[in-house]
Each structure stands twice: as C-alpha cells, then as structure tokens.
Chains A and B, each alone.
Chain A
C-alpha cells in the first residue's frame, strides 16, 4: 500500500475517532462569534466539533461530521494555509492564500481542498456576491468523495477584507441532506459580520 493510501486510512481512523470521541458542543440559536472575528446568527442550533477535523478549521454539523459540514475560514492572512493538516504529503503544493488573489484563484484553492485524495470537484457556478458586508463571491460545486463514494453538493461564500480571507462553506450529500440544510447554512452566511 502506498503512503497515500496509508494516510487515507489513517485519516479515516482519525475521523472515526473524532466522530466517536471528540468533544461536541451545542451551538445555540442566536448570535455566535467564531474565532473572535466572525459573528453569525443561527436560526437553529448546530453541533460544533471542538477539534475541528484536524485542520484547525471550525466545523459545525447537523447530522454528523461525515454527513454535513459547515466550515469557517476566519481571518486567513497573506501566506496562511487554507486547511493545514499534519498528514499533508510532501511534494504537494500547500493551499496558501495570498492577499492579492482574486476570486478565481481563491476558489481554485477550495477546488484543490475538496479534490484531496482523489475526490472529484466540479465547479457548477461562481460569481460576485456580498459576504460579511464586503464585496466578495459565492460558488457552488459538486463532488464525489473518495473513500465512501458519496456524491456531495457544496456551496461557499467568501470575501477578502483588509487582506484577510473570510469564508464559509457547506457540504452535504446531494440527496435529501443538502436540500434540507442549505437554507440554514445560507442564513448563517448572510448574517456574517466581521468584528473589528
């Protein structure tokens, strides 16, 4: 087995461990501040994984971390990595954000993030949008997750504010879960405010 597959199996084990043992806390309805920089308003409670998914990205879910995920990328500075993981293979270019990136380049980072380990990523739409009172972008995509063959749909909103990237993405299985959860995810994204 090559190291990539070993890493994948390891990641799966870690994910299972996280799902079974990691601390999960309730995020109550109302206004919540994520990483002290991004305020959002929830129309219903969510579950937060304290350990994120090993990448330091705050991750919320309704149905479980292997089903639907709402992820927050908060105040990523120039040179910061989108989702650094300890198992990042050597030789793979890091997902490095640059303040000068335009939307297409930022979405390309998410494309590579969701293509990790051979998952597919198809960009369905990207266009200008407003996020956190800042001119930004939104995008939609489809993906087939390697490992369990689940077909996902995803959506993201983001903006670069004073050289820092703020973004929220939501992914879920395309049947039932995504249609059921996307409205709540979008409501959270539309409520986002950057704290000074």
Chain B
C-alpha cells in the first residue's frame, strides 16, 4: 500500500467512514471474480499484472521464507473469505513502509512495513485495506479515469492505454486512489477486521506511529514528504478521529504469533533499516519497539547504531548506554563490541577501545573485517 493510501486509510477510519459503515446497510462482498477477457480493458490490465507478478516472484528481493509466506497467506485468506484462492501475497525485501495489491490478486508487503508492525492485527488492518481495493475493483476505475484524462492522451497514443495504466499500477500508483475509493477500502477493511476478530483499534495506532516517525526528523515536513499528508486534512485531526472511532472496538491483536514469525527475520530487517540513513526516524522506531521489549539485545544495539551514526550532540554517550545495556542483556550481537570500540576511540579512551576490539574478534574471529580490526589492535599497541 502506498504511503498515501495507507494514510488515507488512517484518515478514513474516522467518523464519516466508520459511522457510515455502521449506519449503512451491511456490505456484502462480491462473488469471486472470473478472469476477464484479455481483449477487454480489465483483461489487459490483468495481463500486465501477471507479467509483473512473474517478475516479483523471480526477484531476488522476494522473500522466500516458507513460514512467513504461509503466515501472510493465512491472514489474507482469513480476510479475503471466498476470495482466498485468488489472493497471493509476496513479502518483498525493501526497507520502506509500503504494501500494494494488483487487480489480478497479487499483494506485495514490503519488509519495512513488517518491521514496523507490533502485532498481527496491525498487519491485518493494512492487508484488509488492500483487499478492500481489490474487492471493489478500484484499479479498473482508475484505469478508466486515466483514459478520461485528456492530459494523458499523448502518452496513451505513445505507449498504449494498457501499457500506461499498467505501468502506473505496477509502480505503486502514481495515480493514487481517489478519496472516495480510499474511504470505500477503509470501510471494508474495518468490516473485515471486525468480522475476523481483529482489534480494529490497532489501525489507528499504526497510523499514529508512522506519523511520529515522519515527524522525528526536523528536516522533514510530512506535508511535503507524503502526498497524502499534503492533500488531506491535518494529520493530527485524522489521528485523533481514528482513535475516537475505534475506542469501542476490541478483538485480538495476536502479538505473540506475529513476534514469533518475525523473530528470525528481524535482525536483517533492522540492518536494512539502519542503511536507510534516516537515523532520526530509526531512533523513534526503536524507541517504540524497545518500549515493548526493553531488554532486547538486538534492539538496543540497533538504537545505539542509529544514535552513533546520527552523531548529534550527546549521541555518543546515548549510543554507549545502549551498547552497554545490550551487553548486560546477554543477547548483544558480536558487532556491539566493535561499535563500542568506535565510541571509546572517539572519546579518546584507547584502552577500552582495544578491549572492545578484542572482545569483537573473540566473538567473531572470521568476520569480514577481522583483518582490519587486527590492524587497529596492532596500531594501538
């Protein structure tokens, strides 16, 4: 789901949406779709998405962890109901918050999103929103909307209407769904969550957490960083409305099940997170994750990394405190000692740096940088 859609969705959980959902006649999911005639505009779109799905499936970024994929498929199946056989979920290794669903039933969930979810209900909220778009065939509406736009006439002639629209969908929606479509998908997602026993209040939490991350960086104005923030009502208002609307909901969050699925992957996802170079955002994210698991060695190490690499005022000391806490937890990764050595060295504490490098080499004698660390030790003699 594009960030725009996602935040739309957060907005759409507000009174107008949920109120409508409750007040209007119950939404009835459509029957399973049959494959459209390839000669039709929808058939052309499906064919393009089929090709895109083949590319995604073969991509080295497609995560092939069997347990994770089965878990994601089970959630999609639960939410999709009768449409279960038509929905295929792919986890894609990309350290940003995103998910999307194509009209042929292909759903992509990015690893940066998986890292940020606290429980299964939050993940289900996003997947349900995407399934909402799918069930309402919003992509087809968008295709027709694109056709209607005279500004794209030239492009259509040059590339063919299906090619253009398909590219847009494949790229994640240069044409975002309309506000009405987002409201529609929101309404459906809330209904699907309730129907399947998930706590709908988690939807608002995901939205608020993402907003907190975006606001963490003083250089970033969310209204400029995100199309959604720029084109919709003030984000605070949406967050507050979401919280108000879902206050009476309850249900399962399935936090333990989600953590169990993510545990074997999380170290790698955190490595990718740090490589984004958005250290302010990473610190906010890790603060939130550590609030739930305050003594987790990996989380402490990575928050230390975000602080050390941000290198702002006081960050070195804060990073060292995290590294020390990680070591005390007994679960610190070996690289914690290497990072501690870097901080000691920057503080002019050569003796401690040498000791930390030695601990690193003891824990990881075959590390790719072992030769370099040995050189550091020789120079420090």
List residues of chain A with CB under 8 Å of any chain B CB. Answer: 1-6, 9, 90-93, 95, 102-105, 107-108, 111-112, 115, 118, 120-121, 123-128, 137, 144, 146, 149, 151
Contact = CB atoms under 8 A, between A and B. Distances in A.
Majority secondary structure, A binding face: mixed
Given A91-B217, A127-B371, A149-B60, A121 B275 contact: yes
A93 B368 contact: no
Nearest to B3: A2
A185 to B, nearest CB: 20
Given A90-B219, A92-B277, A118-B95, A2 B368 contact: no
A1 B59 CA distance: 20
Q: Which 9 A-B pairs have the closest CB atoms?
A: A127-B371, A91-B220, A91-B217, A115-B275, A118-B94, A1-B174, A93-B277, A128-B375, A2-B3
B259 interface: no
A193 B272 CA distance: 36
A125 B367 CA distance: 8
9 contacts: A2-B98, A3-B226, A93-B310, A104-B338, A112-B275, A126-B368, A127-B371, A149-B60, A149-B61
Contacts of A105: 342
A6 B4 CA distance: 13
Interface stretch (B39-47, B77-85, B122-130, B278-286): B278-286
Interface in B38-60: 55, 58-60
Nearest to A150: B60
Given A1-B172, A146-B94, A149-B60, A91 B226 contact: no
- Most chain B beta-carbon neighbours within 10 Å: one of A112, A127, A151: A127
A137 B375 CA distance: 11
B368 A124 contact: yes
Interface string B305-318: 00001100000000
Contacts of B338: 104
A2 B369 contact: no
B2 A1 contact: yes
B171 A91 contact: no
Contact of B225 (A90, A93, A126, A149): A90
Contacts of B278: 91-93
A90 B227 contact: no
B173 interface: yes
Contact of B60 (A5, A127, A144): A144
Interface in B288-322: 309-310
B16 to A, nearest CB: 25
Contact of A126 (B59, B96, B173, B369): B369
A105 B376 CA distance: 13
Contacts of B59: 149
A127 B96 contact: no
B148 interface: no
Nearest to B221: A90
B372 interface: yes
B277 to A, nearest CB: 5
Interface in B353-381: 368-369, 371-372, 375-376
A91 B275 contact: no
B94 A151 contact: no
B375 A144 contact: no
Contacts of A151: 60
A105 B343 CA distance: 12
Q: Which of B3, B368, B371 has the most CB of A within 10 A?
A: B368
B4 A91 contact: no
A3 B221 CA distance: 13
A92 B375 CA distance: 32
A83 to B, nearest CB: 13
Given A1-B172, A3-B227, A146-B94, A91 B281 contact: yes
A112 B306 CA distance: 13
Nearest to B175: A1
Given A118-B272, A125-B371, 7 more contacts: A2-B3, A2-B226, A91-B217, A92-B277, A93-B279, A104-B338, A127-B369
A117 to B, nearest CB: 9
B93 interface: yes
A103 B372 contact: yes
A18 to B, nearest CB: 21
A144 B175 CA distance: 28
B244 interface: no
B3 A126 contact: no
Contacts of A6: 174
